[in-house]
Amino acid sequence: MTSSTPRPTAPAAGAGRRDAEATKAAIVRAARHLLARHAHADITLKAVAERAGVSAPLVLKYFGNKDALFARIMSFEADAAAVLDAPLEDLGRHMVQHLLTSQAEEGADPLLRIVFAPLHREHGYVLRANFRTQVVRRLGERLTGPDAGLRAELAVGMLLGLGVMYGIARGPHLRATAIAEITDRYAPAVQACLTPG
């Protein structure tokens, strides 16, 4: 090999792991998308794989089986951590902005799949239980003052309503309005539920 011949470069350390993580994330996004539109029983691994742009055996490699994949999809742990990741005094604004940004930029709502729980029969019970424990109760535990559980449910209910109007009903006025403006208008009402009166 002469000095003018370019040397082959080794893949960057961790590149394979990044690719694997990106593939897993694509599979999770695909499964979440399908879960929000179809009954659990009607979703096949092949459909998940096609939506994710991978092969069905790759889905099996990363998740083992459909039940393992959907157990992850039906958990709200990671989503709740992101949605609730702000100081209490700024939490209403953060929750609204995070929800809208997730829908607009990633095409995925961090909480909205709970709306489709009735589609999933016995799996719907798991979805509801996870949502109540991992999102609503977790929020309630952060709140101070009286009726923390009620205020948490009201705040999350407002967030879900906005998510439905923005992401499912696709309200044309909402969709045409900047996220910052929607946040300015909507966040104070959410924050009012979070702050003891």
DSSP 84-151: T-S-GGGHHHHHHHHHHHIIIIIS--SSGGGGGGGGGHHHHHHHHHHHIIIIIIHHHHH--STTHHHH
pTM here is 0.75
Same domain for 90 and 174, yes or no, is yes
Q: Which amino acid is at 65?
A: N
Question: Which residue, among 158, 176, 177, 174, has the nearest Cα to 96 in the 3D structure?
Answer: 158
C-alpha span between 35 and 56 (Å, rounded): 17
Q: Which of 28, 51, 73 is at the close of a domain?
A: 73
Same domain for 167 and 186, yes or no, is yes
Same domain for 84 and 146, yes or no, is yes
Q: Which amino acid is at 66?
A: K
Same domain for 133 and 38, yes or no, is no
138 pLDDT band, cuts 50/70/90, is: very high
* pLDDT value of position 9: 47
Is the confidence at residue 59, as pLDDT, over 60? yes
Question: Which residue, among 57, 79, 59, has the nearest Cα to 69 in the 3D structure?
Answer: 59
Q: What proportion of the chain, given as a percentage, has pLDDT over 90?
A: 45
In terms of average pLDDT, the best of 27-36, 72-81, 82-91, 99-108 is 82-91
- Does 2 reside within a domain? no
DSSP code of 165? I
Same domain for 109 and 51, yes or no, is no
Same domain for 129 and 185, yes or no, is yes
